[in-house]
Amino acid sequence: MNNGSAVQARGLHKSFGDVNAVRGVSFEVNAGEIFSLLGPNGAGKSTTISILACLLQPTKGDASVMGHSVLKESMGVKAAIGVVPQEIALYEDISARENLSFWGKMYGLRGPKLAQRVDEVLEVIGLTSRQKGRVDKFSGGMKRRLNIGIALLHKPQVIIMDEPTVGIDPQSRRNILDNVKELNRQGMTVLYTTHYMEEAQELSDRIAIMDQGQIIARGTHDQLVKIVGELDRINLTLSASSEQLLAAWRSTDGVHQVSATAQPDEPVLDGAVTLLVDDSNVVLPRILEKATNAGVRVTSIDIQEPNLEAVFLHLTGRALRD
């Protein structure tokens, strides 16, 4: 069953009354890779993660982690995984070190080995100097790091991270993303959920896009982007409308499409023009030259290379953060 895959989900369903939170989710996470579940809030990512962490039983289907079935060998699964929950789950009235020691015991660590792992994890999450501080005095970022540290104590083979960067400052976020990459570099398999396209793009070897309880696309970043083609999108705002200029742009080499709206489903705005081009770096100078020749001033330029946001938009008709 475990042919190089650390996690396998097969036809997972989960219903809460009449609500079908997860509908037939199947995917595989290869050992040693970072695999992201990307989707908006309510897509079913956390429910899927909860099934893999043995917190919820699937209504239908099964999943395995390092060869252990979540239905039949939950203790084996739990020993193999470290879970970073979406909400900060710490004992706030004790210190960082006391938290790590307690959770280490829950993972079966004792004595000198426990103390050593606590020291190592404190080093990894950068809280060695604050190890005796009460957690309720910590910043949000520090709590997030400790939240992650707990999941690392027993050196799990798979770490499952459920939106670990929600609601924190950019610096802490950067720190967490770097930590994830470092853990993966050390050989840990990472299953990561997020609704931040940039995080999935930066971290992931492979990505599954989820919406309304289903996986609607999966693959590497490049594979996903190809779903919407490889054209760059240039959004321009002009000082005045000019049919003559639009005609000139349409005849420009490398320009595939010119429309006078920013998005197909957005209302027409005066002076707003969207162009689909081969390579914006090459085509943009030509476009600006023609605008100058036509006596029209370009007041703003926004260049969008093909990305996961566009993929999600293409597949669902909605923005990822809707």
Partner 1 sequence: MKAVDIALKDLWHSVRNAMFIVFGLLLPMSTGALFYFAFGGQSGGDEGFALAPIEVQVVNLDEGQMGFSAGELLSGVLRDAIPDLIHAREASDATAARAAVDRQQAAVAVIVPAGFTAAIMELEGRAAVELYEDPTLTLGPGIVRGVLSQLVDGFAGTKIAASTAHDQLAASGLSPDATTMQAVAMEYADWTQTVSEGQQSGTNPLFEIQAPPAQEQEGNEGVTGILALIMAGMMVFYVFFTGAASAQSILLEEEAGTLPRLFTTPTRQSTILGGKFISTFMLLAMQVVVLVIISGLLFGVDWGDPLPVAAVTVALVVLASSFGIFITSFLRDTRQGGIIYGGVMTVMGMLGMITVFTGTVPTASNATNTVSLIVPQGWAVRAWRLLLDGAGFGEVLPTVAVMMAAGIVFFVVGVLKFRNRYA
What single-letter DSSP state applies at residue 91? -
**CA distance linking residue 63 with residue 55, whole number of Å:** 13
Give the range of 33-41, 105-113, 216-224, 234-242 binding partner 1 by CB under 8 A: 105-113
CB of 54 to partner 1, least distance (A): 7
Count CB atoms within 10 A of the CB of residue 90: 21
**CA distance linking residue 189 with residue 192, whole number of Å:** 10
Give the range of 29-37, 102-110, 191-199, 265-273 binding partner 1 by CB under 8 A: 102-110
Which tokens in the block code for residue 267? Answer: 């209302």
**CA distance linking residue 311 with residue 320, whole number of Å:** 9
Q: H or E segment at 12?
A: strand 5-16
CB of 227 to partner 1, least distance (A): 34
Question: Residue 16, interface with partner 1 (CB under 8 A)?
Answer: no
- What stretches of the chain show up as alpha helix (H) in DSSP? 45-52, 74-80, 96-106, 111-124, 140-152, 170-185, 197-203, 221-225, 243-250, 280-293, 308-316
CB of 302 to partner 1, least distance (A): 40
Which tokens in the block code for residue 68? Answer: 């252990």
Residue 290's alpha-carbon distances to 116, 261, 262, 269, 293, in angstroms, are 67, 19, 20, 21, 5
Question: Residue 105, interface with partner 1 (CB under 8 A)?
Answer: yes
CB of 138 to partner 1, least distance (A): 15
Give the total of residues touching partner 1 (CB under 8 A): 24
Contact 7, 191 (CB under 8 A): yes
The DSSP string of 261-283 is SSSTTSPP-TTEEEEEES-HHHH
CB of 77 to partner 1, least distance (A): 9
What would the x/- binding string for partner 1 be over residues 50 to 89, using CB under 8 A? ---xxx-x-----------------x--xx-x-x-x-xxx
CB of 54 or CB of 234, closer to partner 1: 54
Which of 10, 69, 102, 181 is close enough to bind partner 1 by CB under 8 A? 102
What would the x/- binding string for partner 1 be over residues 107 to 126, using CB under 8 A? xx------------------
Give the range of 103-111, 123-131, 137-145, 293-301 binding partner 1 by CB under 8 A: 103-111
**CA distance linking residue 206 with residue 161, whole number of Å:** 15
Which of 51, 70, 150, 203 is close enough to bind partner 1 by CB under 8 A? 150
CB of 90 or CB of 217, closer to partner 1: 90
Question: Residue 306, interface with partner 1 (CB under 8 A)?
Answer: no
Which of 90, 215, 231, 277 is close enough to bind partner 1 by CB under 8 A? 90
The DSSP string of 31-42 is TT-EEEEE--TT
CB of 81 to partner 1, least distance (A): 7
CB of 283 to partner 1, least distance (A): 50
CB of 70 or CB of 236, closer to partner 1: 70
Contact 7, 189 (CB under 8 A): yes
In the complex, the residues that contact partner 1 under the rule CB under 8 A are 53-55, 57, 75, 78-79, 81, 83, 85, 87-91, 93-94, 102-103, 105-108, 150
